[in-house]
Structure 1
């Protein structure tokens, strides 16, 4: 790619970013779009919607940027929880890394790369027509002493990244403990999930659970709740809600409108009311104990009198048969994923096998759009495939758009389809909570984009017709040394398209805005209901994207330092935009207390080792064998550092220590509200399908339970601009 093609891509994406920023700054102040851009504030206590048109409301203002930038970590913790704090610290970590790397790369390595003549002499007078390869390490002459600067830079960035990773791991561990000590008693802290419950003939699941835990945990066992099959009830409840919305809508119509719109089911108002009454009676009958007696699943939530007792029961093997009385710590009540409780051990094991095979097939099939993208970036190959387009592709502007912007746009569209697929695969894997599903989907999507976006583009770009070379596994570092620098221009454009534009598009919330406009134009009910579902951040989509850009920065900082300023702009945008969205848009759906961090640490370690492998190959190709020898110990030392961190910090992310749990239990002994807490704990894990419905003008809603109230401890900051 030449410089002018990159500038074309930067210009297009910069214009889109400015447009999204300006439109967002205007629309967020309009009363009709508050549900799109500030739903958290509306849900908290509402906003006075002044419908008088003022000039200030029609002009873009940067006040929200200042508010988001000044938001402290303590304020973010109080409004959105520890997961959001950890998410922002991922961005801050990348900002620190690439600020340090940018100083080295832009002021030391980049001039060295441009001064080389291995590919061609750099001429600043015709810079727009220069190829971006002149800015990479490939342009440094073979055997040049200046390559020692790149070798020293690899050592410096490795030490700096490891220092930051250790500091962050230690800091987040301390924040987890502090967050736990500061929290009120939560139902999941006293509850475990038991699956694979054996039932003797003539007894029920409930009796088996009660007898087992009274015998083996007599001092700490409190009570239990058996889980039932409620899939049919779930669908019936949704149908009742749908019918009630139709009835409410018809009641709000005028007589003239109602005479013209009979309804999709051909039912009159009285018929609809009678059908709704029958459905409600049927629902209450199915929710009764007599109807559910034969729908028990061999799983149950078991409650304990102390956190320590629950932790002991969840960690110990309860039976001589490992597949019976399988225990684990329960998730938060609102985090429970109810549909998968009826799966058996064999079913869950088979699901994992099927998902592994499906993931491999998905990875292979995704090579098709990757090859398409690389063919667009390689115009000579495209002209061979489609000779009729040769005259069209010779136009200068067309070549710049096709090579600089179009490939990354197409790839981004295909990548957008992957996270929902990964979430679906994780949901049928046997996880019991939404947080576990998202953490599993996060790992799947992360490694998917690493292998399919990084390796597939790198190898298909430089060895488009030489795939057979990849069978030589011993020379993989040498292959990477040649192919990775050659794709520097593609990934710089990828950062601009998938980073800058995609992040600002999430700020603008294009899809939600279109849905809002569609409802206003096509629906009779133009006013949203008072109660609505608050949006939440999809960690399994956003965290892998940030970590992938981190991988690009670490691997390319000494190969093509020109990528670093584009990455810094992306992380600055992400820092402001995501903090703003946490304040105004995203509500916490669950709280894992920072359990996404081990994934972040492992990805950073992988990025460092990959950088070492590329450096080992590049110095070998550049005929500087002594530098290759000095690089060789780095991956070994990095993996030893990772093993130390795994032993030192990782256990703190799986379960709290006995010291921590006992201290917290002792504090509860003097709490006068604990007896009431234990009384209400029994109802915390009620299946939503078994909760009674409460209908009003805003629709049918589940009656709030103790779990809803106990988890409502996070309130948003009330600020609009």
Structure 2
């Protein structure tokens, strides 16, 4: 790719980004789009006190200032620890690549340009002159590249250490911040053995009451997901019958209210019927037994007891009575709890094979993309392509079109990897999303990075690319990576810059909301609060980190493009987390180890490629000096894993025991334990999931109330001036503000587009 093609791609992406950003600043002020751009704030009932007015049809940058001024506590209040960790990944990228950009732009890039190593090469382009390939063999200038590599690696490891330490501390603070989490007292049991004489419900109760008599409270058997709807219908039928029967006939003097639960005052009475089988006789008991799964949730009296049980092998057969700490109630993926535990390994192998097959098939799109970039070379082999002679068309095809086509093809990867993670049998939604994130990351590293490098070089050499050993592959990568820098620059602009503008604009919910309300004339809401797509955004940031590290000394021109992306990603994602995305479950910062491993891989790959390139340039001393750097980076990775990674895999017994003692002394422990059985009510949770109700989690220490948009009050205005919707306070009718005074109300005039505050 030459410079005119790169400038064509840059111009188109800059135009798209500026247009989308300006359009967003206008659309977010319109009352019709409040559900699209303020779903998180509406769902959590949060308010704002600033009343700065802006013209509703004039582009403004007020959202940038608000995103910049938000503190880490504000981010945590809106998105939880996962949002904070994700933004820490972005901040880490900004810091390290700011250092790399300064060093490489003023030290490495001039040396590459004046190296004069490609004077005799006929196929060298202006972009190739800015890479390390233009440095002469045996040149002493290569020591500047080696010095820069040492500085970047040392800074990256230092920043990684402090970030890992801070995230581990935040993860420990989560336990103290949410002491009443039901998952701290609950153990998920899978692989319950089948018995011809006992139901799963009876087997679980008998086993844990026998071996954990002092700490066991109760349990709840998991039912097949397809049977939940039938249970809900049965509950509704029983409720309708009981409401038509006089109270005296239901609650007789000799009747025991606790026996049935329908006559007492308990709100979860149907749950008791479903799991205790004491009320409806043998017929219903047999019907429920057929719907039981070999999994159960077991509740214990203390956090420490649950921790010990979850980390203990319960029987001589490790495939039976398998225990782990249960996910949070809203995080449980009920469908996969019914998957037999002894079949999970088959599912994982099948998913692994399917992932490999998909990665191999995806070589076709990557080869096609590289063919578009090398269209000038393909014209020599395919005469029908010689018809394309217009220079502007060629610049468009080679500069902008390849990255656009690759970005479009990559849109099918996240949903497919999410499907693979579901088939693997993840028992929680957060685990499923993190597993999908790992799969997408591996896929991106191979199919976006390595496959494009190899396929592009294969097309450039017209099929004469041969690799016979790992040494040949390493040498080939060292030679070919700098020549692909121009393609990855355009990919950063298309997938990064333009991708951020589409992320900000939310085109699919926006168009759907307009069609729903303006065309179909519906009064209810089309857009519901959505969760943040960590499995796609984390992988994009880490992929760009791989590009930044591997090209920092090989082709430094890519660094300014990456730095622009990371800076705007910091602002855009902060805005989206505070206003759009809604938190339903957390992974407690589990994405950071994934980011740490990806960064270490990127560093070691950069060091290995640099060492090989130094050797190819006949600078044996510079090549040898990279060996201690590789060893030091690997040892640093081992140190961090031994120091911090156990905190992400286990919970500290010391902290849990102290919390149990404090709750025991204050009398809160018994109150917490009494609420455990009702927390994991499968009927209610599955009904909520099937109805797609997005309610805020109860553990969230936020301000405001949990109200949906339909409960908000809209009244007529008095003010003639327009308000930006980010400055509007949304409240439920009659609800007091935190100060005890009546909160202002949103006012929208039907015949105009003015939004004001009363």
TM-score range for the pair, normalised by the shorter chain length: 0.7 to 0.9
Assess, with a 3 A threshold, how the Cα gap between structure 1 residues 234 and 713 changes in structure 2: closer, same or farther: farther
Is 1:449 aligned to residue 444 of structure 2? yes
Assess, with a 3 A threshold, how the Cα gap between structure 1 residues 454 and 55 changes in structure 2: closer, same or farther: closer
* Paired residues of 2:529 and 2:694 also in contact (CA < 8 A): no
Is 1:327 aligned to residue 326 of structure 2? no
Give the structure-1-normalised TM-score.
0.86
2:528 partner SS: coil
Residue 638 (structure 1) shift: 1.3
Residue 12 (structure 1) shift: 0.5
Is 1:302 aligned to residue 298 of structure 2? yes
Q: What does 1:258-657 correspond to in 2, within 5 Å?
A: 290=284, 291-384=287-380, 386-392=382-388, 394-464=389-459, 465-466=462-463, 469-528=466-525, 533-657=528-652
- Which residue in 2 is equivalent to 1:720? 726
Residue 205 (structure 1) shift: 1.4
Assess, with a 3 A threshold, how the Cα gap between structure 1 residues 467 and 162 changes in structure 2: closer, same or farther: farther
CA distance in 1, matches of 2:144, 2:47: 57
CA distance in 1, matches of 2:26, 2:694: 38
* Paired residues of 1:477 and 1:616 also in contact (CA < 8 A): no
Show CA shifts across 1:609-656 (max 9, x none).
100111011111111111111112222221111111111111000111
Residue 26 (structure 1) shift: 0.5
* Paired residues of 1:287 and 1:690 also in contact (CA < 8 A): no
* Paired residues of 1:688 and 1:702 also in contact (CA < 8 A): no
Is 1:676 aligned to residue 671 of structure 2? yes
* Paired residues of 2:330 and 2:685 also in contact (CA < 8 A): no
Assess, with a 3 A threshold, how the Cα gap between structure 1 residues 517 and 628 changes in structure 2: closer, same or farther: same
List alignment gaps of at least 5 residues for structure 1: 49-53, 123-128, 242-282
CA distance in 2, matches of 1:34, 1:677: 38
* Paired residues of 2:168 and 2:647 also in contact (CA < 8 A): yes
CA distance in 2, matches of 1:34, 1:387: 54
- Which residue in 2 is equivalent to 1:32? 32
Residue 237 (structure 1) shift: 7.6
CA distance in 1, matches of 2:683, 2:468: 54
- Which residue in 1 is equivalent to 2:714? none
Is 1:3 aligned to residue 37 of structure 2? no
- Which residue in 2 is equivalent to 1:273? none
Residue 232 (structure 1) shift: 4.7
Is 1:169 aligned to residue 169 of structure 2? no
CA distance in 2, matches of 1:466, 1:609: 29
1:226 partner SS: strand
Show CA shifts across 1:373-421 (max 9, x none).
00000022432465333232x2111111111100000000011110110
CA distance in 2, matches of 1:55, 1:703: 31
- Which residue in 1 is equivalent to 2:183? 188
**Bigger CA drift: 338-347 or 354-363?**
338-347
Assess, with a 3 A threshold, how the Cα gap between structure 1 residues 617 and 399 changes in structure 2: closer, same or farther: same
Show CA shifts across 1:208-255 (max 9, x none).
1112112222222111100011325459989x99xxxxxxxxxxxxxx
Aligned residues: 657
* Paired residues of 2:30 and 2:725 also in contact (CA < 8 A): no
2:467 partner SS: helix
* Paired residues of 1:233 and 1:689 also in contact (CA < 8 A): no
Show CA shifts across 1:590-614 (max 9, x none).
1111011110110001001100111
CA distance in 1, matches of 2:43, 2:59: 25
- Which residue in 2 is equivalent to 1:208? 203
Residue 676 (structure 1) shift: 2.9
- Which residue in 2 is equivalent to 1:103? 102
Of the candidates 677, 680, 685, which is equivalent to residue 685 of structure 1? 680
* Paired residues of 1:692 and 1:703 also in contact (CA < 8 A): no
- Which residue in 2 is equivalent to 1:256? none
Q: Please tell me the root mean square deviation across aligned C-alpha atoms, in Å.
A: 2.8
CA distance in 2, matches of 1:440, 1:164: 26
Residue 715 (structure 1) shift: 5.1
List alignment gaps of at least 5 residues for structure 2: 237-269, 278-283, 706-723, 728-758
1:57 partner SS: coil
- Which residue in 2 is equivalent to 1:257? none
Give the structure-2-normalised TM-score.
0.82
Residue 540 (structure 1) shift: 0.8
CA distance in 1, matches of 2:669, 2:411: 47
Show CA shifts across 1:664-694 (max 9, x none).
2122124444333222210111114687789
**Bigger CA drift: 624-633 or 201-210?**
201-210
Show CA shifts across 1:408-457 (max 9, x none).
00000011110110000000101100111111111110010101111011
Is 1:663 aligned to residue 662 of structure 2? no
Residue 471 (structure 1) shift: 2.7
CA distance in 2, matches of 1:237, 1:4: 64
* Paired residues of 2:34 and 2:725 also in contact (CA < 8 A): no
**Bigger CA drift: 86-95 or 2-11?**
2-11
